[in-house]
Structure formats: structure tokens, C-alpha cells
Structure 1
Amino acid sequence: MRPDDIYGGRIVAWLGRPGVLIENDRLQATIVPALGSRVVSLRCKTTSTELLHTPASVEAYESAPMLYGIPVLFPPNRIAGGTFEFGGRAYRLDINDPVTGSHAHGFVHDKAWEVVSCGRDEESARLVTAFDSAHYPSVAAQFPHRFRLVMRVELQGNALVQRIDLHNESDAAFPWGLGYHTAFNFPLGAASSPDSCTFSAPVGRRWRLDERFLPTGELVEDERAAQLRQGMPLAGVALDDVFEAAGDSANEAVLTDPDAGIRVRYRADRAFGTWVLHNGDGRQGFVCPEPYTCVTNAFNLALPPEATGLQALAPYASVSAASSIVVEPYRAEES
């Protein structure tokens, strides 16, 4: 085994940090275990196209880390005041979003994960990493339940499949939510015209947000929803919205770039009932379709779980959620 090999993957440098590169004949992915086991790069080898939004420097990354790669959010988005109650217990989380006075993006996206295994064969390549809250006193102080997340990132043909298994290792039930702040380049190709690219998302009603970007509890119809389901250009269109997933369509966001000859289908299983869409002002060269298992601040909304998506995990029980990024060739006659 060469010094840069790791059980079938390859150690590479990413902004000065060690990453693990896995690949098959179609795709190449880089994961950085020390940065929340974040997938930081996904390349289409047939077109030499980087699909994920990547920073130009360490400074760019550190100024806005949520806008690069696939951060794992557990729990996702904001919790008002960093506080909530569950099962007769009061929880107090760190306020790391002082502008809104919230806890934001959870416990695991910026912590080191352990590499469990890595392997490859003729058709696929995979990396398994794990996060154990018992190794982080700062997490245990906020969330007094031992939990483990085990994530499998696998390249299967033309798809990156991401699966997380959540294990409750404590003797009490706890509420949970999972999400990804996935940032794609948009357009996908560096030389592509923004006007020729389209984006679609499986969105239904929109959650009305207050001045702190927290849901008020009201769901409203949005005139953009039909266009988003069908597919629309995003040049100059600003998105920073929380939608319920449309129940009558495939639970996938689709990015189509005719100039690059690529279509990307970002699929989430039905555990993900919320989609957050974010692209800055629509002129920053990225779009974040973010699948969540629960809506922002679900821990504090006085609504039933079937509305918010908030779930409880029983003692010593486990649950899984999966998503995939499927990369397809696009031909003009498909339009």
C-alpha cells in the first residue's frame, strides 16, 4: 500500500487539511473527515466538471463555510434562542448565530469524524465515517444524550449515494432532525450561460418566516412553486425560502446545464419532508437545495410532528435517511 492509500481511497490535501478521495470510472469525490465529514468535491470525470461549490482559498471557506460542499446538519438550521423542551427536560444550546439569537446548524458539521472503513471494487467506491457525541464534552453539555452518526458515502455508477444511520446510545428518547446544506455550482459548467440553465425543486407550500428567518407556523401558497416544480432559470432570482416537500412528485431537485451537457438529480428519500432553497442574490454562482427531515425550529413549533417533521428516537433505537446525487448526460433534444 502506498503512503497515500487508505483502504481503497487516497489521501489528498484540501485547503491544507487531509481529505479522502474516492472514485470510480465516472465520478470522483473528496470527503474531509476533520470538517464534519463534509463532501467537499464531486467531479464528473467524463466532462471534467466540478459539481459542488468550492472555495478559492482558506479565507473564502472560513468566511462562509455553509456555502461549500455538503455540510451535515444535525439538527438543521436554526433553533430559536437555542432552547427547547422535550420529555420534561429543558435544553440549552450554544447561541452561534448572534444576529438572530439562535443556535444554527447543529453539532456535527465542524467536528472531526472518525474514518471507519474505505473500499472500492470495479463498480463502486465507498467511505464510512462516524461521529460519537461521547467524544465531545461540548456537545454532551448541550445535548445530554449519547448518539452516534454513521455516514456511508458511496459512488455507484453515475451516482453519489449518501446514507446516515443515527443511533440513540442513551436510556432516554430524544428529538432529532437531519439536513444537508448542499451547495452546487450553478451553472454547473464554468463557461456555461446562466440564462440557459434551469433549476427545479419538489416544493409545495412555503413556510412564512419572521424577521429572524424562523417559521411562524403558517404555511402559504407561493406563486413561484409551480415554476420551481417545472424548472426555471435562476439568473437574478433570489431564493432564501423554506418549503414543504410536494407529496405528489419525485422528491428531487434537478439542475440542468445544456452548455455543459449535464443534468444533476439530487434525490432525497421521503424522510426529508422539507426543502430549503438558497442562492444568495441569484448572481453568486451557486444554489443550495437543502433537504431536511424537519422544518427550521421544529423543536419549538406548536404543531404536530406530521406537520413539522420532528421525530423522537427511542432509547437504543436507530433510524436511517438516504439521498443521492445522480449525474446524467444532457442532450438538446431532451428539452
Structure 2
Amino acid sequence: MKNTAEKLNWKGMECMRLTAGGYTALIAPGIGSNVIRLHDDKNGVEFFRWNENNTPEDIQASAEVWGLPTLYLPNRFADGVLRTSDAVYQLPVNEKAPFHNHIHGFLHKRCHTVVSYAADADAAWLRTSYVYNESDPFFQYFPLPFTAEFCFTLSENGLEYSFSITNQAQKKLPVSVATHTTISAPFVDGAQEEDIRIQVPITERWILNDRCLPTGEIRLLDDYDNTFRNGTACPVKRVVDNDMYTATRLVLPDGSVFRGVRMTDTASGKGIGYEVSEGYHFWILWNDRGEKHYFCPEPMTAMIDAPNLDMPAEKTGYCELEPGEIYHLAQHFFTILPEKKD
């Protein structure tokens, strides 16, 4: 079939639909360039949390828990305070007591601009951007202009996603980026969610307090944590509540190295590969109490509250961009099929 990239009206909102390589992606520039649906039409895999009855308003009301939302200034900053090397910013406290933090920033809620889109014999792609400046209502708290750019490429290899942020301020721009990745449970059409297993490349656990902030304590992996590491953990039908880990790489049975998460439906053998670039230093796992038919393996570039922690940047993953500097990240989603037996 011919690969396509097209605008369409999705229940009153302009969205982009990419089709290529047997996959279909529905992307909403008006909701933070969220990939609100990714489906492998050939193999029956629903990657992200999706509800056919949803409206754009439904997703906008809870933009963190549908599709693939990209968060800039993700997770929590204690009391809304963000300390950089050359300034202190007071962000709005938008997480109520007992937490009293700023949570998740603003980029995933903004209306982004379609820059270009096209398709050829190999792939379909979309580029979007968001220019953050004094016209944004958040600028009163965080007066550092930047441009965020997104590129989505769909092909027989699945969905490749790249993100960059360019500092256009005269001061240093703090870098903390994540995707609040919502994986559908079940993700194989017609499957049972209790058959899902997840493997996450982790090396150590960060302990959080009752405000979901790091205590500074870092522990070796215990038996529970190792179920994620060895791929025997079921990520739903129980509570997984902000389990925070340092990321590493998986070594696959064939000896190859994979930097990312692998999810398997044990009944069918089908799975999801979720690969991330080197800039993502942490995984946090969460499933909204376990009974909402989705779970979130969230890659993060920096630790929760990283700029405020009394720890070296090489431990927290925190970094800052000089004026004019650009920061790049990438992710890749694809279907894993069971090996054919002779």
C-alpha cells in the first residue's frame, strides 16, 4: 500500500495521520504533538492507551495519560523552586497537598505548529515545532525563550521520534525531558492484560519520600526490582507507583545490546520494542493503580527535582544549555514478532 501523510479533521481538531509499513499513527499538534494513537495494522498491536470514544477535549483534560506526551520540566520540583547555575525560578505549585510541587511543565499542553509533512516509497513523516517566548502564559514564571522541534517518521521499522530544544535565552536553559509513555493493556488485539510481561534495563533504585521526591537514598535492586530487570514482571493488575531507577542497557539473547524497554504478550509471543537514545538516564514506572488498562514506562533525562539536589550532575543527569546550544533526543517504537519455529 502507498505510504501517506495527511491532515484530517479528528472530531473537530486538526490532526495528522501517517500510514507506512503496515503502521498507522495519529498525531495531534494541537495537544503538544502527542502521538495519540500508534497501531500496527498488519499484526494487531495497539501501542498507546487509546479509546475510540475519546474526544480532543478528553485528551486535553488529561494530556499526561493518553498517547505519547512529551514533557519538558517533567515530574516534580519541590515547592515549585527550580535552581539553575545562574538563576532561581519560582514555578507555579500545581500539585496539591500533601505534595506541594510543580509537576510536568507545559509543553505537552500547547498547540504546536506543523512545519512540514510528506511521504515517499519508504516512509511518511511529520515535523512540528513550538516557539516558547513571552507570548506563553508560563513565561512569567520561566522567562527563558526556546524552540522545541519534533520529528516523527513512520516506516516498516515502526515509529522513530526525535526531539530537540534550542536555547534562545541569554541565560542557561535547564534540561529535563521525559515522555509519559502510556502503553495499552492489553496491547495485542484480543489479548489479556495479565499476560503482559515487561523488561526494563535498570541498575539501582532511587527512594522517594511521601511527596514523590528523592530522599537521596539509592539502593541495590531487590527481588521485586529484579522482576523488571529480568522480564518476569507484569506491569498491570497491581499497583506500580513511581518506581524510580537508573537506566542501563539490555543484553539480548543473541548478544546484541538494546537501550530500552521490551514488552511481551506471553500468549501470542508478540511484543513492543521501545528504544531510547543515550540522553535518557532514568526509567520511572507507574500504572495509575493498575486497573486503568495502561501502564507507563517513562524515560527521563534527569532525576526528579534534579537541579535542586545536592548531588553531582553526572549522578542526577541534569544539564544546562548555553545560549544558542541545541539538545537532541530520540526514541523508536516497533513490533516484535515471535520467532518462527522450523
Query: Do 1:158 and 1:328's aligned partners in 2 also have CA atoms closer than 8 Å?
Result: no
Map 1:42-121; keep pairs closer than 5 Å: 42-55=38-51, 56-58=53-55, 61=59, 64-99=62-97, 100-121=99-120
Q: Which blocks of at least 5 consecutive residues in structure 2 are unaligned?
A: 252-257
In structure 2, the residue matched to 1:236 is 237
One-letter amino acid of the counterpart of residue 317, structure 2: G
One-letter amino acid of the counterpart of residue 203, structure 1: I
Query: Do 2:21 and 2:155's aligned partners in 1 also have CA atoms closer than 8 Å?
Result: no
Query: Do 2:94 and 2:102's aligned partners in 1 also have CA atoms closer than 8 Å?
Result: yes
- Asked if residue 11 in structure 1 is aligned to residue 11 in structure 2, the reply is no
Q: Deviations over 1:11-43 (max 9, x none)?
A: 234453221001103211111011011110001
- Asked if residue 298 in structure 1 is aligned to residue 306 in structure 2, the reply is yes
Map 1:218-229; keep pairs closer than 5 Å: 218-223=217-222, 224-229=224-229
- Secondary structure of 2:121's partner? coil
Q: State the TM-score, normalizing by the size of structure 1.
A: 0.91
CA offset at residue 310 of structure 1? 0.5
Q: State the TM-score, normalizing by the size of structure 2.
A: 0.89
Instruction: State which of 37, 43, 47 in structure 2 corresponds to 1:41.
Output: 37
Q: Deviations over 1:32-85 (max 9, x none)?
A: 011011110001010343221024434754564322101110011111111122
Map 1:127-166; keep pairs closer than 5 Å: 127-134=126-133, 136-166=135-165
Cα distance between partner residues in 1 of 2:275 and 2:95: 29
- Secondary structure of 1:97's partner? coil
> In terms of mean alpha carbon deviation, does 59-68 or 102-111 score higher?
59-68
One-letter amino acid of the counterpart of residue 322, structure 1: A
Query: Do 2:202 and 2:246's aligned partners in 1 also have CA atoms closer than 8 Å?
Result: yes
One-letter amino acid of the counterpart of residue 102, structure 1: N
Cα distance between partner residues in 2 of 1:266 and 1:332: 22
Cα distance between partner residues in 1 of 2:338 and 2:261: 16
CA offset at residue 130 of structure 1? 0.4
Cα distance between partner residues in 2 of 1:117 and 1:62: 23
Cα distance between partner residues in 2 of 1:216 and 1:111: 32
Query: Do 1:204 and 1:225's aligned partners in 2 also have CA atoms closer than 8 Å?
Result: no
One-letter amino acid of the counterpart of residue 238, structure 1: V
- Secondary structure of 1:281's partner? helix
- Secondary structure of 2:194's partner? helix
Q: Deviations over 1:264-305 (max 9, x none)?
A: 111111110010111123332211110010011112111110
| Distance change (3 Å), C-alpha of 1:172 and 1:256 | same
Cα distance between partner residues in 2 of 1:62 and 1:42: 18
CA offset at residue 94 of structure 1? 1.6
- Secondary structure of 2:169's partner? coil
- Asked if residue 27 in structure 1 is aligned to residue 35 in structure 2, the reply is no
Cα distance between partner residues in 1 of 2:199 and 2:340: 18
Query: Do 1:130 and 1:149's aligned partners in 2 also have CA atoms closer than 8 Å?
Result: yes
| Distance change (3 Å), C-alpha of 1:268 and 1:198 | same
Map 1:169-208; keep pairs closer than 5 Å: 169-208=168-207
Query: Do 1:26 and 1:158's aligned partners in 2 also have CA atoms closer than 8 Å?
Result: no
Query: Do 2:186 and 2:293's aligned partners in 1 also have CA atoms closer than 8 Å?
Result: yes
In structure 1, the residue matched to 2:254 is none
CA offset at residue 229 of structure 1? 1.6
Q: Which blocks of at least 5 consecutive residues in structure 1 are unaligned?
A: 1-7
Identity of aligned residues (%): 25
Cα distance between partner residues in 2 of 1:299 and 1:226: 29
- Secondary structure of 2:161's partner? strand
| Distance change (3 Å), C-alpha of 1:84 and 1:103 | same
> In terms of mean alpha carbon deviation, does 69-78 or 277-286 score higher?
277-286
Q: Deviations over 1:119-172 (max 9, x none)?
A: 111111111000111263323212211111111011132221111111011222
Query: Do 1:94 and 1:142's aligned partners in 2 also have CA atoms closer than 8 Å?
Result: yes
In structure 2, the residue matched to 1:288 is 296
- Secondary structure of 1:229's partner? helix
| Distance change (3 Å), C-alpha of 1:186 and 1:105 | same
One-letter amino acid of the counterpart of residue 239, structure 1: V
| Distance change (3 Å), C-alpha of 1:267 and 1:248 | closer
> In terms of mean alpha carbon deviation, does 198-207 or 264-273 score higher?
198-207
In structure 2, the residue matched to 1:5 is none
Cα distance between partner residues in 2 of 1:204 and 1:193: 30
Q: Aligned-residue CA RMSD in angstroms?
A: 2.1
Query: Do 2:32 and 2:70's aligned partners in 1 also have CA atoms closer than 8 Å?
Result: yes
| Distance change (3 Å), C-alpha of 1:190 and 1:26 | closer
